[in-house]
Chain A
Amino acid sequence: MNRNNFYQKDIETLSRKDIDALQLERLKWVVSYCYENVPYYRQKLDGAGVKPEKIRQLSDIQYIPFTTKEDIRDTYPFGLFAQPMKKIVRIHASSGTTGKPTVVGYTRKDLDTWSDVVARLCVAAGATDEDIVQISFGYGLFTGALGLHYGLEKIGATVIPISSGNTEKQVMIMKDFGTTTLVSTPSYALYIGEVAREMGVDIHLQLGLLGSEGHTEEMREEVEAALGFFATDNYGMSELIGPGVSGECRLRCGLHFAEDHFLPEIIDSKTGERLEAGETGELVITTLTKEGFPMLRYRTKDITRLNYEPCACGRTHVRMDKVKGRSDDMLKIRGVNVFPTQIESVLMGIPHIGPHYQLIVTREGYMDALEVKVELTDADLLEHYPELKALQNDVHHRLKTVLGIESKVSLVEPKFLERFQGKAKRVVDLRNSKEAK
């Protein structure tokens, strides 16, 4: 099966000049569209003294105020919709960990755009109409499952909408239906692999479309080794459209944006200033074609970097690095910035321990303390007690080298760390809770 294809080659290989021209035309459109159709945006733009006519070149985007999660919450449920319900054909919502969910709406054209951008990243990852795809994201209000579902149907793949959970059944279907491709979070993929091994079932997956949960290269290698497939990462969020904003090609050297629909910028998350191309900072995205729920300069809180070099695969749209972390995931421990992804990178490189981990941050007196729990999986170490101590010291030492702070490393029994069927929650911060000492 040829896995090196394009879905919309003419668009995906446009020259930079043509991309810029298309983006400028669409940026002008979306700003005036928001101004005309969403009172909340009009108020914000007026407040900033920006009339739609002020947008004459792409860099003029800097005059537009940011939109944040709080803006969406303040206008709950439909305050940022730009079309009446009569024109909205689908509603999705993301579970807010705090308070009300984020509600988004799609017109028929939006759904079509959405399935196009997802189809693009699936084809870039190597999916074809011959694939049998098991979608193990939870269906429902969450955009992940239905986003991949329609995109994969569009390219003609055979979709099995199994949803998440009931893992033994997932494995049985994988074997009986001859599933070639798995759509899941990396942590759930690992769990499916564990269950398949316990059941003694051989699965023959070729491709993994991992998403909905940030993960490091090292984690991807673990997942690939456990499931025996080639995996790519993709990126998106319901505020922007769902999955489909960007995704990796077979070369896996950054996630290709769909720049004809999304305009990305990188800013300094503290000052809000735009950073130069190639600098690392917070990703801000403006939707260029969305009708139901347009977004002007949405602050994603994800930390990454943009690369405008055309990719060796032929695609010319800008690539983003794998998300390094979230500006609000960043832990400040004893004054040091720590990203959970840094810890993940360290742990994945160490033998004898499993891929699951948990970080627990507590406060002892006035001092922050970080505990890293990892699972001991190699039973051979049990014969020689000093080897267990040595493993513990090794993990501790490697973490200290990378993070620059002390941590307590706890070896725990396998499977006592929680397995996740959706997004993994690996950080437990008890510093402001009653449980903290």
Chain B
Amino acid sequence: MIIDQISVFVENKAGRLAEITSVLKDNRIDIRALSIADTNDFGILRLIVNQPDKAVLALKSAGYTVSLTNVIAVGVEDRPGGLGDALKPLYDNGISVEYMYAFITPEDGTAFVILRVQDNEKAIEILRQNHIRIMQNEDICK
């Protein structure tokens, strides 16, 4: 229902992303989705991985500032208007999205969207009522 997302503080410097991904590789952790927000100085890397707890531990012991937060993943149809179907009911109910990112799976024409909102429970309830498919950890991490 609720997916674990990892946030990592990254300096905007050559090689930092490569270092982080190599920490994950050394721990045999698979990245399912990622997004990065950045300014000139620093960025926040957000990751969905197959073993979040292990990834947090590995990154922390490598010296990174890391946090684990809950986000929602929804599956929408990969067609024009698919994303809007999911976002409109949230907007109608006064739930604002702080940030989101999407990725497409090769299999069944579904796009996964990671949503970060203030109130996960309420958002899930609304999405359910509107027959939006909520993804489980297993769907994403298989």
> Which residue of chain A has the shortest Cβ distance to B6 in the bound complex?
A382
Which of B61-69, B124-132, B133-141 is near enough to bind chain A? B61-69
Q: Does B37 contact A (CB under 8 A)?
A: yes
Q: Does B26 contact A (CB under 8 A)?
A: no
Are A382 and B41 in touch, CB under 8 angstroms? no
A353-378 contacts to B (CB < 8 Å): 376-378
Minimum CB–CB distance for A36 against chain B, Å = 59
Q: CB-CB < 8 A to A307: which residues of B?
A: none
In the complex, which of the residues B7, B61, B98 contacts A382, with contact meaning CB atoms closer than 8 Å?
B7
In the complex, which of the residues A380, A410, A412, A415 contacts B67, with contact meaning CB atoms closer than 8 Å?
A380
Q: CB-CB < 8 A to A198: which residues of B?
A: 61
Are B41 and A383 in touch, CB under 8 angstroms? no
Tell me the bound Cα distance from A385 to B37 in angstroms: 8
> Which residue of chain B has the shortest Cβ distance to A409 in the bound complex?
B41
Are B11 and A416 in touch, CB under 8 angstroms? yes
- B1-17 interface mask toward A, CB cutoff 8 Å, 1 = contact, 0 = none? 00000011111000010
Q: Does A388 contact B (CB under 8 A)?
A: yes
Q: CB-CB < 8 A to A351: which residues of B?
A: none
Q: Does A414 contact B (CB under 8 A)?
A: yes
Are A410 and B41 in touch, CB under 8 angstroms? yes
Q: Does A346 contact B (CB under 8 A)?
A: no
Q: Does A312 contact B (CB under 8 A)?
A: no
Q: Does A413 contact B (CB under 8 A)?
A: yes
Minimum CB–CB distance for B57 against chain A, Å = 12
> How many residues on chain A are close to B (CB under 8 Å)?
20
Tell me the bound Cα distance from A377 to B69 in angstroms: 17
Are A382 and B44 in touch, CB under 8 angstroms? yes
Max chain A C-beta neighbours (<10 A), residue from B8, B41, B42, B65? B65
- A373-409 interface mask toward B, CB cutoff 8 Å, 1 = contact, 0 = none? 0001111101111001100100000000000000000
A402-437 contacts to B (CB < 8 Å): 410-416
Q: CB-CB < 8 A to B64: which residues of A?
A: 413-414
Q: CB-CB < 8 A to B116: which residues of A?
A: 383
Tell me the bound Cα distance from A378 to B9 in angstroms: 10
In the complex, which of the residues B63, B69, B98, B99 contacts A414, with contact meaning CB atoms closer than 8 Å?
B63
Are B11 and A379 in touch, CB under 8 angstroms? no
Tell me the bound Cα distance from A383 to B7 in angstroms: 7
Tell me the bound Cα distance from A379 to B7 in angstroms: 8
- B83-100 interface mask toward A, CB cutoff 8 Å, 1 = contact, 0 = none? 000000000000000110
> Which residue of chain A has the shortest Cβ distance to B61 in the bound complex?
A198
> Which residue of chain A has the shortest Cβ distance to B116 in the bound complex?
A383
> Which residue of chain B has the shortest Cβ distance to A352 in the bound complex?
B65
Are A411 and B67 in touch, CB under 8 angstroms? no
Are B41 and A379 in touch, CB under 8 angstroms? no
- B67-80 interface mask toward A, CB cutoff 8 Å, 1 = contact, 0 = none? 10100000000000
Tell me the bound Cα distance from A423 to B103 in angstroms: 50
Q: CB-CB < 8 A to B7: which residues of A?
A: 379, 382-383
In the complex, which of the residues A382, A383, A384, A416 contacts B63, with contact meaning CB atoms closer than 8 Å?
A416
Are B61 and A412 in touch, CB under 8 angstroms? no
Minimum CB–CB distance for B106 against chain A, Å = 30
Are A413 and B67 in touch, CB under 8 angstroms? no
Q: CB-CB < 8 A to A379: which residues of B?
A: 7, 9, 65-67
> Which residue of chain A has the shortest Cβ distance to B98 in the bound complex?
A384
> Which residue of chain A has the shortest Cβ distance to B63 in the bound complex?
A415
Are A377 and B11 in touch, CB under 8 angstroms? no
Minimum CB–CB distance for B40 against chain A, Å = 10
Are A412 and B44 in touch, CB under 8 angstroms? no
Minimum CB–CB distance for B88 against chain A, Å = 25
Are B69 and A413 in touch, CB under 8 angstroms? no
Are A413 and B61 in touch, CB under 8 angstroms? no
Are A388 and B44 in touch, CB under 8 angstroms? yes
Are A382 and B65 in touch, CB under 8 angstroms? yes
Q: CB-CB < 8 A to A383: which residues of B?
A: 7, 67, 69, 116
Are B63 and A413 in touch, CB under 8 angstroms? yes
Tell me the bound Cα distance from A415 to B62 in angstroms: 9
A193-238 contacts to B (CB < 8 Å): 198
Minimum CB–CB distance for B71 against chain A, Å = 10
B30-77 contacts to A (CB < 8 Å): 37, 39, 41-42, 44, 61, 63-67, 69
Q: CB-CB < 8 A to B61: which residues of A?
A: 198
Max chain A C-beta neighbours (<10 A), residue from B10, B37, B44, B66? B44
In the complex, which of the residues A382, A389, A410 contacts B9, with contact meaning CB atoms closer than 8 Å?
A382
Tell me the bound Cα distance from A27 to B102 in angstroms: 80
> Which residue of chain B has the shortest Cβ distance to A415 in the bound complex?
B63
Minimum CB–CB distance for A354 against chain B, Å = 9
Tell me the bound Cα distance from A275 to B37 in angstroms: 56
Given pairs A379-B66, A413-B64, 6 additional interface contacts (CB within 8 A): A198-B61, A376-B9, A379-B9, A388-B42, A414-B65, A416-B11
User: Shortest 3 CB-CB distances between A and B: which pairs?
Assistant: A415-B63, A379-B67, A382-B7
Q: Spell out A's residues near B (CB within 8 Å).
A: 198, 376-380, 382-385, 388-389, 392, 410-416
- What are 17 pairs between A and B in contact, CB < 8 Å? A378-B65, A379-B66, A382-B7, A382-B67, A383-B7, A383-B67, A383-B69, A385-B99, A388-B42, A411-B9, A411-B41, A411-B42, A412-B11, A413-B9, A413-B11, A413-B65, A415-B63
